[in-house]
Amino acid sequence: MEEQTMLEMRNINKSFPGVQALKSVNFDLKRGEVHGLLGENGAGKSTLIKILTGVYQKDEGQIILEGKEVNIYNPREALNLGIAAIYQELSLQPYLSAAENMFLGQEIKKSGKIINLIDWEKTQEEAKKILQELDLDLDLNIPVKELGIGKQQMVEIAKVLSKNAKIVIMDEPTSSLSERETEELFRVILRLKEKGISIIYISHKLEEIFKICDRVTVMRDGEKIITLDPKTTTKDELIKHMVGRTLEQHYSKIETVRGEEALRVENLTREGVFSNISFTSYTGEILGIAGLVGAGRTEIVRAIFGADPIDKGKIYVFGKEVRIRGPIDAIKHGVVLIPEDRKSQGLVLIHSVLDNIALSSLPKYKNGILLNYQSINREVNELIKRLNIKTPSPKKITRELSGGNQQKVVIAKWLTQKAKIFIFDEPTRGIDVGAKVEIYSIMNELVKNGASVIMISSELPEILGMSDRIVVVHEGKITAEFSREEADQEKIMKAATGPM
């Protein structure tokens, strides 16, 4: 029997001033299906989803839900129709319990004369039922802020089920999850499928699309390009449809000549976190740092940058021993960090692109007691052009840029410092394939111009594709080092799971 169609979006058009965001887009979703939605930032995915959830209204087209045409004017109407979204930034109230969050806004009231009292016993019962349906074990009574991010994600899913959702939209659901938490999410998704719930799954992680999705639709420049069966396509084909590039072009590594020693650390130790870390990076080289989540990679580079203390060990910059007590010392020595969490640690999101790029270099722009804004504007505009930062103006608020462009703003900030040692911690996390290629090109340009790049990445293809050498960290210790020629996924994974 043919699968029942749950949703059809026919010839959807949407324009904003000066931009046609969607051009006659067709999309359909079957009952109990996980349908992947792929595309670079700006491809139209978010606009399509916001029309489905009532945040935006379509200009033209039809939305057919279970065979009946509907018009969705606001998010509450979408929820009433059984359409719910779980976004990257979770919408839980941190000081309320899981049960309270699940029924927030639709509290179960006691019957009788006093109708405004909440029936906590019934609330607990209903919350437990939903968790049992998902085969989840959660403490319903503690504040959700005390739960890990993976458990909070499960509360968010339980919350939409309490609203009797028929269609659940998951926007980058694994961006902050560990591998184990991701597997738990996939198990819950399969349970939702068994219940006949349909899922629109948005992710930049192509391996997840192949693992969990029944079909995948690719969008580009506001148009639907193609719908494919992941079982009969390849990663290369998906990338080509998304950005017009082949997989071979994805990692645009260029050949460079290794230069002088740039950074050397000897027996770097932070008790209980990492111990006896020793490695060297060189100019003209990308040094990859691989390892599993929690291995201590981020903690090591934060210590080198002075963001975290060290108990013992030595740091040398261009052959000279230096003492780095904080980030200011690191920056003075030309060592900079593009952090894993760019939003909270790398940028001031409520400030403009110009402010963020100039912020770390304000003293050099001083003209007496005033700032030379002509000089600031000239350098910022040059960097925007050089890094291809897609912004209508240097005065654009940074939080309104895509993830890839935000990452480029962080890099531009350090280029104003004339830094020579760039540490990239998960440089392409949460950004689309096209922006990844641009970040790789920037890294190539840096080493070509004589900088040293150190890159942490949890994506093995990225480590293998971009690194000249690779060191592997396991439980706070370096367990192996490989040249580009001898490294492969199996060797790295063996070293990442314990001493060889």
Q: What DSSP string describes 76-136?
A: HHHHHTTEEEE-SS----TTSBHHHHHTTTS--BPPSS-TTSB-HHHHHHHHHHHHHHTT-
Q: End-to-end alpha-carbon separation of the chain, Å?
A: 53
Under 8 Å between Cβ of 412 and 389:
yes
351 phi-psi bin (left φ>0, alpha ψ -120 to 50, beta other): beta
CA 6 to chain centre: 29
* Token couple for 378: 């000239």
Lowest mean pLDDT segment, chosen from 21-30, 148-157, 347-356, 414-423: 148-157
Selected residue with higher pLDDT from 489 and 25: 25
Q: Of all residues in the chain, what percent carry a pLDDT higher than 90?
A: 44
* Token couple for 244: 């017009």
pLDDT in tens, 467-492: 999 999 998 999 999 999 999 888 88
Neighbours of 307 (CB within 10 A): 17
- Which among 94-103, 131-140, 276-285, 413-422 has the top mean pLDDT? 276-285
Residue 50 has pLDDT above 50, yes or no: yes
- Which among 86-100, 238-252, 451-465 has the top mean pLDDT? 451-465
Q: pLDDT band at 97, cuts 50/70/90?
A: confident
Q: pLDDT band at 87, cuts 50/70/90?
A: confident
Residues 6+ apart with CB under 8 A from 234: none
Confirm or reject CATH 3.40.50.300 for domain 5-246, answering yes or no.
yes
Q: Going along 151-260, which residue ranges are E strands?
A: 167-171, 198-202, 215-220, 223-228
5-246 and 261-496: same fold? yes
pLDDT of residue 245: 54
pLDDT in tens, 196-230: 999 999 987 888 999 999 999 999 888 999 999 99
Query: What average pLDDT does the chain have?
Result: 87
Lowest mean pLDDT segment, chosen from 21-25, 53-57, 73-77, 112-116: 112-116
pLDDT in tens, 222-252: 899 999 999 999 887 887 888 665 545 567 7
Average pLDDT over residues 281-309: 93
| Residue 176 three-state SS | coil
Residue 260 has pLDDT above 80, yes or no: yes
Q: CA-CA distance, 309 to 269, in Å (whole number)?
A: 9
Q: pLDDT band at 280, cuts 50/70/90?
A: very high
pLDDT of residue 247: 45
pLDDT of residue 500: 45
CA distances in angstroms from 240 to 214, 235, 368, 453, listed in the order given: 20, 9, 53, 28
Rg over alpha carbons for the chain, rounded to the nearest Å, is 25
Class of domain 261-496: alpha beta
Q: CA-CA distance, 85 to 82, in Å (whole number)?
A: 10
pLDDT in tens, 374-411: 888 888 899 898 888 888 889 999 988 888 888 889 88
Residue 494 has pLDDT above 90, yes or no: no
* Token couple for 314: 């030595």
Residues 6+ apart with CB under 8 A from 7: 27, 28, 29, 52, 63, 64, 65, 66, 167, 198
Average pLDDT over residues 63-77: 94
Closest CA to 213 of 200, 197, 224: 200
Selected residue with higher pLDDT from 82 and 461: 82
pLDDT of residue 8: 96
pLDDT in tens, 328-345: 999 999 999 988 888 888
The residue whose two tokens read 């910059």 is: 317
* Token couple for 243: 């950005």
Domain range annotation of the chain = 5-246, 261-496
Q: CA-CA distance, 159 to 56, in Å (whole number)?
A: 23
| Residue 222 three-state SS | coil
